[in-house]
Amino acid sequence: MKKFFALLLCLAMACTMLAGCGGTETTATLRIYNWGDYIDDDVLDQFRKDHPEIKVVYDMFDSNEAMLAKLEGGAEYDILFPSDYMIEKLIQEEMLQELDLSRIENLDNIGDSFLNMAFDPGNKYSIPYMWGTVGILYNTTMVDDPVDSWDILWDEKYAGKIVMYDSVRDSMAVALKRLGYSVNTTDDGELQEAAETLQAQKPLVMAYMMDNAKSTMINGGAAMAVVYSGDAIFCMGENEDLAYAVPKEGSNVWVDGVCITKSCTGENLDAAYTFLSYLCDAEVAKANSEYIGYATPNAAALELMDDAVKADPAYNPPQDVLDRCEVYLDLGDKEAVYSRYWEQIKAN
């Protein structure tokens, strides 16, 4: 009888061991906060398959300001995808932790021109993820004028057919550049003039929106929209009547990065570095760029792309376009002034 029970015990232990071998224990939870439609689903799924020990929790935002508000409200994440000026602000707010660059594999794939930028000298807090411009996406069957100036967004001929981004920085930048000012101005007179210009435009605007601008333009719901270049590329792939232009007055050239928050520690921190290394892989960066339509700062990934993609001015704008564009910088206390004007414009 003792031998019988001993045999049962051995069988039970064997079953337990086999069950344990059949799955991988989760040792880390990686909480990611990213823009909507800003990573290839297959890329994220492959990371989950490659690292079953890491549980990925993925949330999305539609503006830098919405992301900041959620963080200030107490939400905790490990990985963020903020834009240039917001990276600078998060550094100043001490919400990011300094990166150990030696722990990020494939970092040398990033092009030198995207490293050591003014908003994060030495890349102490961020790794470049995507970049692009802000311009005008327009329907060539509905717009019969040259789209080479921001002035067209104030043309009464297109009243009710103009879409503006529901974004304080991007919409203010349009008005500021139209007036010949910097997108980073803190001059009270220039800001007031820009706000008045946007207020005068409002009767012509069909709607202020973000992600919905893409479907609106694809479906022919508007004649033109202020959009990010990557969204323009996606839309043009869905509707051959669409075209994209960066106006002659200049615009914003932006760089989005990947950051690790200060609250990320222990095994979650290890997982965060694993994820950053994964994103810097050339094949992964290529897949991401092709999926979302934005230009990659990953030079190794760019080499893998078709020549037609590299020659597309919407994807890879010529130097003369970049020369008349500016990177957003943190506005400090003037951010509240921008926001106040923007809320007044939408409310009135």
- pLDDT tens figures, 32-71: 999 998 999 999 999 999 999 999 999 999 999 999 999 9
End-to-end CA distance of the chain: 88
- For residue 4, being part of any structural domain is answered with no
Q: Are residues 291 and 321 in the same domain?
A: no
pLDDT in tens, 257-289: 999 999 999 999 999 999 999 999 999 999 999
Q: Are residues 260 and 149 in the same domain?
A: no
Q: Are residues 51 and 65 in the same domain?
A: yes
pLDDT of 72 > 60? The answer is yes
Helices marked H in the chain: 2-21, 41-50, 64-72, 84-92, 168-178, 188-201, 212-218, 229-238, 266-279, 282-292, 299-303, 307-310, 319-323, 335-347
State mean pLDDT over 169-175: 97
Q: Are residues 155 and 205 in the same domain?
A: yes
Give the number of domains in the chain. Answer: 2
- For residue 206, being part of any structural domain is answered with yes
Q: Are residues 119 and 266 in the same domain?
A: yes
Task: Tally Cβ neighbours within 10 Å of residue 306.
Answer: 9
Enclosing H/E stretch for 32:
strand 28-35
Q: Are residues 115 and 196 in the same domain?
A: no
What are the tokens at 295? 């230009």
pLDDT of residue 25: 85
Residue 279 belongs to what domain range?
Answer: 27-131+255-310
Q: Are residues 211 and 261 in the same domain?
A: no
Q: Are residues 65 and 115 in the same domain?
A: yes
CATH assignment at residue 49: 3.40.190.10
Between 340 and 310, the more confident residue is 340
Cα–Cα dist 182/186, whole Å: 9
Exposure on the CB side of residue 202, measured as CA atoms within 13 A: 16
- For residue 171, being part of any structural domain is answered with yes
What are the tokens at 84? 């240039």
Cα–Cα dist 50/292, whole Å: 22
Q: Are residues 233 and 96 in the same domain?
A: no
Exposure on the CB side of residue 18, measured as CA atoms within 13 A: 6
State mean pLDDT over 184-191: 98
pLDDT of 4 > 70? The answer is no
CB 120 within 8 A of CB 91: yes
What are the tokens at 20? 């344990």
pLDDT in tens, 324-342: 999 999 999 999 999 999 9
Q: Are residues 46 and 91 in the same domain?
A: yes
- For residue 72, being part of any structural domain is answered with yes
- For residue 339, being part of any structural domain is answered with yes
Q: Are residues 239 and 333 in the same domain?
A: yes
- For residue 16, being part of any structural domain is answered with no
What are the tokens at 153? 């967004």
Number of H helices, E strands in the chain: 14, 10
pLDDT band at 23 (very low <50, low <70, confident <90, very high): low
pLDDT of 17 > 70? The answer is no
pLDDT of residue 211: 84
pLDDT band at 18 (very low <50, low <70, confident <90, very high): very low
State mean pLDDT over 128-151: 98
Q: What share of the chain is helix, strand, coil (3-state, %, to 5)?
A: 50, 20, 30
Q: Are residues 148 and 247 in the same domain?
A: yes
Sign for the CA dihedral angle at 314, 318, 319, 323 comes to negative
pLDDT of residue 272: 99
To the nearest 10°, the Cα dihedral for 11, 12, 13, 18?
Answer: 90
